[in-house]
Structure 1
Amino acid sequence: MNEYDFTLKFNLEDSQADPEDFIERLYAGGCDDALIGVGNKGYVALNFIREASSAYQAISSAINDVKRVVPAATLIEASPDFVGLTDAAKILGYTQQNIRNLLIKSDSKSPIPVYEGTDSIWHLAEILIWLREVQTYSIDDALLDIAQTNMNINIAMSWQKIAPDIQESIKALAV
């Protein structure tokens, strides 16, 4: 069994719902391994450190626990996934300058950002895979597992937003 550290952010069906109303119920409903953030009405974020045999098992059981307690909650994001240079450096324990030099100034083909701008954004999993396979860095298997699983969940949530009747034509454009 590994420990997986991840955060799940949910939208509550009622935008005026006070997330504090759910804290005790979430804790009693299986989320006793999470820190629960309730900063804004209509939203709740849970930072889990959950033991499981895989990241998928950890994340899926956490999502099921939340949805059992708050059935109308909608998953917004699973993280870590989308990262900028600062986030990637913090997660990996490197300096931002080191990560910048690796990603931006590397001779080898580095991961393509999801968003390229003043503050570019990458999928953490793609950075980790690249660091492991191309740069030969030692990357924690549990961190890579959680990043890949979260990336897949977030992509699947985005895919569901595409109208079913045009999904195939959109998929053909993305190849």
Structure 2
Amino acid sequence: MNEYDFTLKFNLDNSLADTDDFIERLYAGGCDDALIGVGNKGYVALNFIRDASSAYEAISSAIHDVKRVVPSATLIEAAPDFVGLTDAAKILGYTQQHMTNLTLENDSKFPIPVYEGAHSVWHLAEILIWLRENQTHSIDDTLLDIAQTNMNINIARSWQKIPPDTQESIKALAV
């Protein structure tokens, strides 16, 4: 068994007006290993530290626990996954400058961002794999397992938004 630290963000329907009751129900429904944040109305973030034999087991059981208590909850994001260089540096215990240097020194080899802009965004798993394979950095297996599982969940969640009749043609464009 390993300890997995991850965050799940959900959109909630408007029927959950009583926040205290909602939090109690989550706690009683198996989410007693989560810190629950309800900052914006209609949204909840749960930061879990869950013991399991794999990240998939930890994350999927957490999603099932939330959905059992609030069947209408819609998963928005599983984190960590989408990261900027500052986020990646913080997760890895590096400086932001070190991460920037890695991208500049290895421009053509560094993973391709999910979003390219003033503040580019990557999948954390792709950075971790690249660091392990190309820079011989020591990457925690548990962190990599979490990042890969979350990346797969977020990609699958996005893929479901594509109408089934156009999925194959869209898939062909992305190759």
TM-score range for the pair, normalised by the shorter chain length: over 0.9
The equivalent of 1:171 in structure 2 is 171
**Could you give the per-residue CA deviations for residues 64-111 of structure 1, whole angstroms, max 9, x where no partner exists?**
000000110000000000000110000000000001111232266010
Tell me the distance in 2 between the aligned counterparts of 1:12 and 1:42: 5
Ranges of 4+ aligned residues in structure 1 off by more than 6 Å: none
Matched ranges for 1:1-175 at <5 A: 1-14=1-14, 17-106=17-106, 109-175=109-175
Count of residues paired in the alignment = 175
Q: Is the 8 A contact 2:13 2:42 kept in 1?
A: yes
- Structure 2 gap segments, 5+ residues each: none
1:40 Cα deviation after fit:
1.0
Distance 1:23 1:108, change over 3 A: same
Distance 1:107 1:67, change over 3 A: closer
1:150 Cα deviation after fit:
0.1
Tell me the distance in 1 between the aligned counterparts of 2:146 and 2:3: 10
Q: Is the 8 A contact 1:8 1:78 kept in 2?
A: yes
Tell me the distance in 1 between the aligned counterparts of 2:103 and 2:96: 11
Tell me the distance in 2 between the aligned counterparts of 1:116 and 1:108: 14
Q: Secondary structure at the match of 2:78?
A: strand
Distance 1:65 1:100, change over 3 A: same
Amino acid at match of 2:21: D
**Could you give the per-residue CA deviations for residues 28-66 of structure 1, whole angstroms, max 9, x where no partner exists?**
110000000010111111000000000000000000000
1:15 Cα deviation after fit:
7.4
1:13 Cα deviation after fit:
2.0
Q: Secondary structure at the match of 1:75?
A: strand
Tell me the distance in 1 between the aligned counterparts of 2:42 and 2:130: 37
CA RMSD of aligned residues (A): 1.3
